Amino acid sequence: MEIILKYFSDFTPEQLSQFEALQGLYQEWNEKINVISRKDIDALYEKHVLHSLSIAAIADFQPGTQILDLGTGGGFPGIPLAIFFPEVQFHLVDSIGKKIKVVEGVAEALQLKNVTAAHSRVEDIKNRKFDIVVSRAVAPLGDLWRWSKHVMKKSTVPGKQFEKGLICLKGGDLAQEISESGLKPRLVKVYDIFPEESFQEKFVVLAKS
């Protein structure tokens, strides 16, 4: 938890309590359903929570924004972002049902009223649009864009800070992946936001049409 407070300080008591509860909740759930690797559970706050919050460090989501977390796994980046932005609505989806069971359990324990979750593929979401889609390294950038563009609202505020589109957390050499996607995303080095050794070669990728 200390590593979160190293970079963020303006939390309400409720937010602090929710962040502090994450370690115990994920340890408990991980014993039933393995959603985080054994070696990473001890570094939960750095490798999962803080990594997720790199999005919050560069994107100031306004109250009422609708965000889809595509392939959320155990709830990253969606759960930490939902704690950080209590007035933003998050819908977390994953094609693996047991992972959504963990997400629902964590969200309920934290009393996150701005989180919904569904055992679903993004392609199956109908009649619902989101301002932003977030994702954490679940597929190549081109696939993420293709899967999510039908659920994205059209941007109506040209030239403003990142308003509509896809934000994903990725690592490694992305040159070929970006080239094949046909997109011209903005890349932000996570290490430039949080200079921790584990964030070398990790990026926040922001793509819009």
Residue 130 has phi, psi (to 5 degrees) of -125, 150
In this prediction, residue 208 carries a pLDDT of 85
Determine if residue 123 is labeled as part of a ligand binding site: yes
Confidence of residue 39 (pLDDT cuts 50, 70, 90): confident
CB 52 within 8 A of CB 76: yes
In this prediction, residue 160 carries a pLDDT of 47
For the segment 93-136, what is each residue's pLDDT rounded down to a tens digit?
999 999 999 999 999 999 999 999 999 998 889 889 999 999 99
Confidence of residue 40 (pLDDT cuts 50, 70, 90): confident
82: left (phi over 0), alpha (psi -120 to 50) or beta: alpha
User: What is the share, in percent, of the chain residues with pLDDT greater than 90?
Assistant: 83
Confidence of residue 162 (pLDDT cuts 50, 70, 90): low
Query: Which stretch of 5-9, 35-39, 121-125, 129-133 has the lowest confidence by average pLDDT?
Result: 35-39
Confidence of residue 90 (pLDDT cuts 50, 70, 90): very high
How many domains would you assign to the chain?
A: 1
What DSSP element (H or E) covers 175? helix 175-181
In this prediction, residue 209 carries a pLDDT of 67
Per-residue pLDDT, averaged over 189-206, amounts to: 97
Determine if residue 71 is labeled as part of a ligand binding site: yes
CATH number at residue 129: 3.40.50.150
What is the Cα–Cα distance from 179 to 174, expressed in whole angstroms?
A: 8
For the segment 139-158, what is each residue's pLDDT rounded down to a tens digit?
999 999 999 989 998 765 54
Q: What domain range is 184 assigned to?
A: 2-207
In this prediction, residue 163 carries a pLDDT of 61
**pLDDT for residue 29 is more than 80:** yes
**pLDDT for residue 159 is more than 80:** no
What DSSP element (H or E) covers 69? strand 66-70
